[in-house]
Amino acid sequence: MTPTLSGRIQSRIVLLGTVGIVWTLLIGLVVPRPEGAAVYKGLFTALLIVAVVGIVWELIYHVLQQYRWEKDWPTVFGLVLAIPEGIVAWALLQNGVPWDARPVQASTFLTMFITLWILIWAITNGPLQILFLRWRYRGGRFIGGWG
């Protein structure tokens, strides 16, 4: 992919706001629920962290991208970066940021985070172009960058 900064942020928010919400709802149905209905509070807090902190991540990625001649973002990066992002999201969640959503089981968080990450990674590496034909030329933007 060859994202622009705006395209990175737009793609992250749009996909987490659509695929992310639906997937989190579905995951909430299948994970163990020792905490009762509060499982969704933890899961959606995690989703929010990935979206909001993700904007900071995207700024960092954008800076790193400037050191690539092709100004691209290789497919494998998109997958591997789940590791640092996942660690940071888990740490924030465990420290009650932005609010206390504990207890969240590590297995629950990992199930949701890993499956959602792979799903969104797979969608952005192809199928999204079927829905939004101009998206790849616009550097990942849905608004702007065309015409």
Partner 1 sequence: MTYTQGDISQQLVDTSVWSDQDLADHGIPVFDVPFVSVGGGIGSFSMVDTLRIAGVTVDQIRVVSDLERPSQTYEYLAGNSQIRTDHRLRSDSSSVIDCIWGWPGYALREAWGKKTPSVAIQVFLEPVAADYYTPKAGQVYESINREAARISWSQMLTQGVVRHVRRRNHGDYFVLFTPPTGSASTKRIAFRTRFVHMAVGYPGVRFLDDLQQYRQQHNDYQRVVNAYEPHDHVYAEMRHRPCTVLVRGAGIVASRVLQRLIDDRDQHGAETTIVHLFRNYPTGPQGKKATFRRPASKGWVYQGFNFPKAAWGGQMRDHLESLEGKDRRDFIDAIGGTNTAPRKDWREQLDRGEAEGFYLQGRGQVQSVVPSPDSRQIRTVVGGGNGVPTTQYDADFIIDATGLEANIEEHRVVMDLLRHGGAGKNVKGRLDVARDFRVRGTDNGEGRIYASGSMTLGGYYAGVDSFLGLQYAALRIHDNLVSAGFGRRIGPGRSISQWWKWARNTAL
Q: Which residues contact partner 1 by CB under 8 A?
A: 1-5, 7, 66-67, 69-72, 74-77, 126-127, 129-134, 136-139, 145-147
41/136 with CB nearer partner 1: 136
User: For residues 16, 22, 28 and 29, what is the CA-based torsion angle, rounded to 10 degrees?
Assistant: -160
We find the least distance from the C-beta atom of residue 131 to partner 1, in angstroms, to be 5
Q: Tell me how far apart the alpha carbons of residues 117 and 17 are, in angstroms, rounded to a whole number.
A: 13
- Are 73 and 65 in contact by the 8 Å Cβ rule? The answer is yes
Least separation in angstroms between residue 11's CB and partner 1 is 12
Minimum distance from residue 30 beta carbon to partner 1 (Å): 28
Using the minimum distance from each CB to partner 1, give the nearer residue, 69 or 99.
Answer: 69
Whole-angstrom Cα distance, residue 40 to residue 24? 8
